């Protein structure tokens, strides 16, 4: 376990961007008609099992950098100077290409200063919070004053490939299970700036304690790769859920000790947005009050690294009083790692 208490870092601004195309679970099932007919699957199964009514998609040609930059532009429109970003981190699963860093394209689109450091961090659905922790450490140590963290995910290429595989194949009900998680994926983008407390506007959230818990014996449970312009991924959803809960439970126990919190302290608890089974399992296993949950998966699906920060941003947008309330982000990513971070300790 790694843990640290931040005392000099806060969230200066948050923004998100969403695609205009809404893709319902019912529409996905319509596109899977050959599969549903062949295996006699009931309509409505996807929404019933996941709790996901719809998700959004960028056009297939819309690059992650373009999505991230949309959120970045919204953030900068609040008055933050492009010349005062010391560090830019792009933290998505999706990237424009292997080289150069996707952050370089975001930097160019946003017109940031030539002194801005740029880099990519990718760690499944945990990438954004990984980037927050690393940037906060640099701020805490006095090396930088302000960092912009962005992420832009687009699940459409993966979903399109999955539909093609399932409709053209001859799999049994058991054999289609590894592809099921792919159908929960959505798209979106998010951007935050975190700063030294000397630059933090009054009433903005501050970062507190974080812990990291990792168990890589489970890294085979969710594996994805690219094939040309297409993405392929297979997930053992049931085993991954159990493994993730195990890692999160150990992490939560250590987080409570490191932060001196109990489940009663936070007013808001945000988890990764996989679906209703995952959310219910996390809250039940960690004995957390479900009324403190805020979720977005119902209308956005699982947006990878975007989901956790977007959901916190959305919660604060819906109820600005949460900006000053104790909150906790419970992040988890395949591999398998979990990071828990307190806000307004």
Q: What is the pLDDT, as a whole number, of residue 190?
A: 98
Q: Give domain limits for the chain.
A: 2-7+203-343
- Contact by Cβ (8 Å): 106, 68: yes
Q: What is the pLDDT, as a whole number, of residue 119?
A: 97
Q: Given pLDDT bands bounded at 50, 70 and 90, which one contains residue 2?
A: low
Q: Active site includes 31? A: no
Catalytic residue among 12, 47, 94, 125: 125
Q: Given pLDDT bands bounded at 50, 70 and 90, which one contains residue 241?
A: confident
Cα distance between residue 22 and residue 15, in whole Å: 20
Residues 143-153, mean pLDDT to the nearest whole number: 97
pLDDT of 198-218, one tens digit each? 999 999 999 999 999 988 888
CATH code at 2-7+203-343: 3.40.47.10
Beta-bridge partner residues of 106: none
For a pLDDT cut of 90, what percent of the chain falls above it?
Answer: 79
- Contact by Cβ (8 Å): 50, 276: yes
What pTM was computed for the model?
0.95
Q: Active site includes 316? A: no
Q: What is the pLDDT, as a whole number, of residue 80?
A: 93
């Amino acid at each position: 376990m790694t843990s640290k208490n931040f005392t000099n870092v806060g969230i200066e601004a948050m923004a998100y961007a969403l695609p205009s195309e809404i893709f319902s679970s019912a529409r996905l099932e319509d596109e899977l008609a050959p599969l549903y007919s062949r295996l006699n699957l009931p309509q409505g199964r996807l929404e019933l099992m996941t709790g996901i009514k719809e998700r959004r998609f960028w056009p297939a040609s819309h690059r992650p950098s373009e999505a991230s930059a949309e959120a970045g532009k919204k953030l900068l429109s609040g008055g933050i100077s492009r010349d005062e970003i010391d560090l830019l981190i792009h933290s998505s699963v999706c990237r424009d290409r292997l080289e150069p860093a996707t952050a370089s394209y975001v930097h160019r689109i946003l017109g940031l200063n030539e002194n801005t450091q740029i880099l990519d961090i990718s760690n499944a659905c945990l990438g954004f919070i990984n980037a927050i922790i690393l940037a906060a450490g640099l701020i805490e140590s006095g090396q930088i004053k302000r960092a912009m963290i962005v992420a832009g995910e687009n699940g459409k290429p993966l979903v399109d490939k999955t539909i093609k595989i399932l409709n053209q194949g001859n799999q049994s009900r058991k054999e289609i299970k590894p592809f099921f998680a792919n159908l929960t994926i959505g798209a979106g983008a998010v951007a935050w700036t975190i700063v030294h407390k000397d630059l933090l506007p009054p009433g903005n959230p501050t970062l507190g304690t974080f812990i990291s818990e990792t168990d890589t014996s489970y890294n085979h449970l969710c594996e994805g790769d690219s094939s040309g312009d297409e993405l392929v991924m297979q997930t053992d959803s049931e085993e991954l859920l159990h493994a993730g809960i195990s890692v999160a439970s150990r992490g939560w126990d250590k987080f409570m000790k490191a932060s001196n919190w109990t489940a009663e302290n936070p007013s808001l608890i945000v988890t990764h947005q996989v679906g209703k089974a995952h959310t219910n399992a996390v809250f039940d296993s960690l004995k957390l009050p479900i009324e403190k949950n805020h979720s977005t998966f119902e209308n956005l699906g699982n947006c990878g690294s975007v989901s956790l920060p977007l959901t916190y941003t959305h919660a604060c947008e819906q109820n600005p009083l949460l900006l000053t309330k104790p909150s906790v982000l419970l992040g988890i990513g395949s591999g398998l790692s979990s990071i828990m971070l307190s806000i307004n300790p």
